[in-house]
């Protein structure tokens, strides 16, 4: 099993990253703030305006360490990654298979996403049954059950997409009920993305971006093309396959955000509100969220298909590897991730 290494998050906007021998060095005003050996790093997320030296980018490419450039507000800008280690025959098969994707692959992906969102609701309902006095959560679970069944009724792409949308609406209609503390400061009315218009959406969008980049790097590491997906539409610049696989893992992000709010780890002062109404994590908020996200990645889980304990941070790699096995024909069906 692959070893989970450290992810370096550079949140200080005044940091410049450079190379010193076999080390990543972070400097602020020419003063060294951090020195980290390449052997301990698996990915870098840079929120700094200053960026990094070409020598460091070249070294990271040699070591297979992706550098993700993200704006301080959480918008993905670019990724620097070395040569692909993929087998050309694997990618050829991927293009052939995903040019006309099997309906079952799409259906299973959407069904897994809906089942996982249902698990998030059921877990909260089990721990806090008193929050369902009006029956909204129970009704949401029933609607999600109906959507999961409906996914398999049609193999039409638009039909599957519509069913996913109905399930997502049912889920986010009750998402505010899953927020148990700090409700005045962290209210959720609806999903807003570009830009996020409240603190909950700001955290969801921020971690979704990080998680999608982690899936993209994992897909490239097993030899798949992260831009050639089977569910999300293909368009220039979109890593469609990473977007496809992250769907089944969104529940992890959503539970993570709920935990930060309900345990009062994140506070209103960790956000900035712009004149336009857009809400983003500030520097302190990003540090808190990323620190806790790294802790979450180090925690272990039993993978539902492998029946083995793995660090949660390896989930993108495990799912990417299973997808590669499916594309090669080594397994008959891609085993979507199901939350237990």
Which residues fall within 8 angstroms of residue 313, CB to CB, at 6 or more apart?
A: 4, 7, 214, 294, 296, 297, 298
| Contact criterion met (CB below 8 Å) for 35 and 21 | no
**Beta bridge partners of residue 34, listed in sequence order:** 26
Q: Which CATH class is domain 88-328?
A: mainly alpha
How far apart, in whole angstroms, are the C-alpha atoms of residue 159 and residue 152? 10
> pLDDT per residue over 95-144, tens digit each?
999 999 899 999 999 999 999 999 999 999 888 888 888 889 999 999 99
Range from 1-10, 108-117, 142-151, 192-201 carrying the lowest mean pLDDT: 1-10
What confidence score (pLDDT) does residue 103 get? 92
* Joined tokens for residue 9: 């998050």
What confidence score (pLDDT) does residue 19 get? 86
What confidence score (pLDDT) does residue 309 get? 86
> pLDDT per residue over 146-178, tens digit each?
999 999 998 889 999 999 999 999 999 999 999
* Joined tokens for residue 20: 């010193």
Look at residue 319 and tell me whether its pLDDT is greater than 80. yes
Domain 6-80 and domain 88-328 have a common topology: no
DSSP 173-207: HHGGGG--SSTTTS---S---SS--SHHHHHHHHH
How far apart, in whole angstroms, are the C-alpha atoms of residue 278 and residue 123? 31
Mean pLDDT of 4-15: 74
What confidence score (pLDDT) does residue 41 get? 82
- DSSP letter at 72 equals T
* Residue extents of the structural domains in the chain: 6-80, 88-328
| Contact criterion met (CB below 8 Å) for 112 and 336 | yes
* Joined tokens for residue 330: 């080594």
What confidence score (pLDDT) does residue 85 get? 61
DSSP 83-109: -----HHHHHHHHHHHHS--HHHHHHH
What confidence score (pLDDT) does residue 3 get? 59
> pLDDT per residue over 67-99, tens digit each?
878 776 667 777 777 766 667 888 999 999 999
> Hey, is 25 helix, strand or coil?
strand
Q: Which CATH class is domain 6-80?
A: alpha beta
What confidence score (pLDDT) does residue 270 get? 93
Number of Cβ atoms within 10 Å of the Cβ of 275? 5
* Joined tokens for residue 48: 């700094």
> pLDDT per residue over 30-60, tens digit each?
888 888 888 888 778 887 667 788 888 888 8
Look at residue 2 and tell me whether its pLDDT is greater than 60. no
- 3-state SS string for 129-156: HHHHCCCHHHHHHHHHHHHHHHHCCCCC
> pLDDT per residue over 261-310, tens digit each?
999 999 999 998 888 888 899 989 998 999 999 889 888 888 888 888 88
Burial class (CB in 10 A: 0-12, 13-18, 19+), 294: middle
What confidence score (pLDDT) does residue 292 get? 93
The pair phi, psi for residue 41, each rounded to 5°, is -115, 135
Enter the pTM of the model.
Answer: 0.83
What confidence score (pLDDT) does residue 137 get? 92
């Amino acid at each position: 099993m692959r070893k989970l290494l450290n992810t370096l998050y550079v949140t200080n906007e005044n940091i410049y990253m450079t190379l010193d021998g076999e080390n990543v060095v972070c400097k602020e005003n020419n003063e060294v703030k951090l020195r980290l050996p390449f052997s301990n790093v698996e990915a870098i997320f840079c929120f700094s305006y200053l960026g990094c030296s070409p020598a460091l980018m070249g070294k990271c490419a040699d070591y297979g360490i992706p550098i993700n450039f993200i704006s301080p507000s959480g918008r993905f800008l670019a990724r620097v990654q070395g040569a692909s280690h993929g087998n050309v025959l694997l990618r050829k098969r991927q293009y052939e298979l995903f040019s006309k994707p099997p309906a079952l692959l799409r259906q299973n992906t959407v069904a897994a996403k809906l089942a996982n969102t249902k698990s998030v609701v059921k877990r909260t309902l089990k721990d806090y049954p008193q929050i369902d006095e009006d029956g909204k959560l129970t009704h949401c679970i029933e609607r999600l059950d109906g959507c999961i069944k409906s996914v398999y009724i049609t193999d039409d792409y638009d039909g599957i997409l519509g069913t996913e949308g109905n399930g997502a609406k049912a889920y986010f209609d009750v998402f505010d009920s899953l927020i148990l503390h700090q409700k005045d400061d962290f209210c959720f009315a609806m999903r807003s993305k570009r830009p996020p218009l409240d603190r909950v959406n700001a955290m969801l969008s921020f971690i979704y971006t990080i998680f999608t980049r982690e899936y993209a790097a994992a897909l490239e590491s097993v030899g798949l093309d992260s831009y050639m997906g089977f569910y999300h539409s293909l368009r220039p610049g979109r890593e469609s396959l990473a977007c496809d696989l992250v769907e089944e893992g969104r529940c992890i992000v959503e539970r993570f955000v709920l935990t930060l709010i309900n345990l009062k780890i994140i506070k209103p002062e960790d956000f900035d509100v712009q004149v336009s109404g857009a809400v983003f994590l500030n520097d302190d908020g990003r540090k808190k969220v990323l620190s806790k996200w790294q802790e979450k990645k180090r925690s272990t889980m039993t993978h539902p298909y492998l029946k083995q304990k793995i660090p949660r941070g390896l989930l993108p790699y495990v799912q990417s590897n299973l997808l590669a096995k499916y594309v090669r024909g080594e397994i008959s069906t891609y085993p979507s991730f199901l939350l237990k």
